[in-house]
């Protein structure tokens, strides 16, 4: 890619991590992803639903979520954990088996894939949303650390939900601890379960974080704002 980079006046990247991978820092412009706040809106929740949306890839920490669910349900028995997504059959089967072994059949629901049209409602009615990763299970993450900028985090925030995320890579810029949610160490089941319990027991904190998250998306983490930033760079560099 070095030849292409030489011909570029600007390089738009969604994370700071790109600048540590050999790209010329003076050319890089960070414009993160966003969500559509008209589609993703807050809705009433039942106070006890924990949501994960994504694949069952080994680095998505789904097995750790199930183990954390056991600890949470020992403290708050009626808590429901909802998994949305179906890619990654091997890990999905591992999680289903683990759920049965831990007697979580009534607390954990593996919904499978759903249509995009249903995603805003599912997020809107959740209580807490998860964005957890386990870098040791993915070679590029082990080598370069976590470098994704997951759109689902912005969608969670657009719906006014507190987010529990791994304290790694770009997630630390999207989720500030105590402001947008709670950051936990990768793979630390005790921290994951404690963070969930803390938020479940504190509705006031959930509302405060949710309001902050919704406001952030309305102000800058939305596609209209992202598009405006990109277009402004194109206009600045235009020779017309």
Q: Which is nearest to 49 in space by CA: 79, 84, 85, 83?
A: 79
Under the banding of pLDDT at 50, 70 and 90, the label for residue 240 is: very low
Residue 87: pLDDT band with limits 50, 70, 90: confident
Residues in Cβ contact with 233 at an 8 Å cutoff, skipping those fewer than 6 apart: 10, 12, 29
Residue 175: is its pLDDT beyond 60? yes
The pLDDT assigned to 143 comes to 59
Which domains does the chain carry?
A: 1-29 (no CATH), 49-215 (3.40.50.2000)
Question: Which of the four pLDDT bands, split at 50, 70 and 90, describes residue 137?
Answer: low
Query: What is the secondary structure of 146-201 as a DSSP string?
Result: -----HHHHHHHHTT--EEEESSTTHHHHS-BTTTEEEE-TT-HHHHHHHHHHHHH
pLDDT given for residue 215 in this prediction = 98
On the question of pLDDT at 193 being above 90, the answer is: yes
| Residues 169-183, mean pLDDT to the nearest whole number | 90
- pLDDT mean over 37-50: 93
pTM of the model: 0.88
Q: What is the mean pLDDT of residues 22-38?
A: 85
pLDDT of residue 26: 79
The pLDDT of residue 156 is 98
């Amino acid at each position: 890619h070095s030849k292409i980079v030489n011909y570029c006046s600007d390089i738009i990247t969604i994370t700071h991590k790109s600048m540590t991978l050999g790209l010329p820092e003076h050319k890089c412009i960070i414009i993160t992803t966003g969500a559509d706040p008209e589609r993703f809106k807050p809705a009433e929740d039942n106070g006890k639903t924990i949501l994960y949306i994504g694949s069952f890839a080994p680095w998505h920490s789904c097995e750790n979520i199930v183990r954390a669910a056991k600890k949470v349900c020992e403290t708050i028995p009626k808590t429901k954990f909802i998994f949305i997504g179906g890619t990654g059959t091997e890990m999905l089967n591992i999680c289903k088996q683990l759920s049965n072994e831990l007697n979580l059949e009534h607390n954990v629901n593996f919904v499978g894939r759903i249509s995009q049209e249903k995603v805003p409602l599912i997020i809107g009615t959740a209580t807490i949303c998860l964005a957890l990763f386990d870098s040791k299970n993915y070679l590029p993450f082990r080598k370069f650390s976590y470098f994704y900028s997951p759109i689902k985090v912005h969608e969670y925030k657009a719906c006014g939900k507190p987010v529990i995320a791994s304290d790694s890579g770009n997630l630390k810029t999207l989720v500030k601890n105590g402001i947008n949610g709670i950051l936990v160490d990768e793979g630390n089941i005790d921290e994951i379960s404690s963070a969930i319990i803390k938020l479940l027991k504190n509705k006031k904190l959930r509302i405060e974080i949710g309001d902050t998250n919704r406001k952030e998306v309305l102000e800058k983490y939305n596609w209209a704002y992202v598009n405006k930033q990109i277009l402004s760079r194109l206009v600045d560099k235009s020779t017309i």
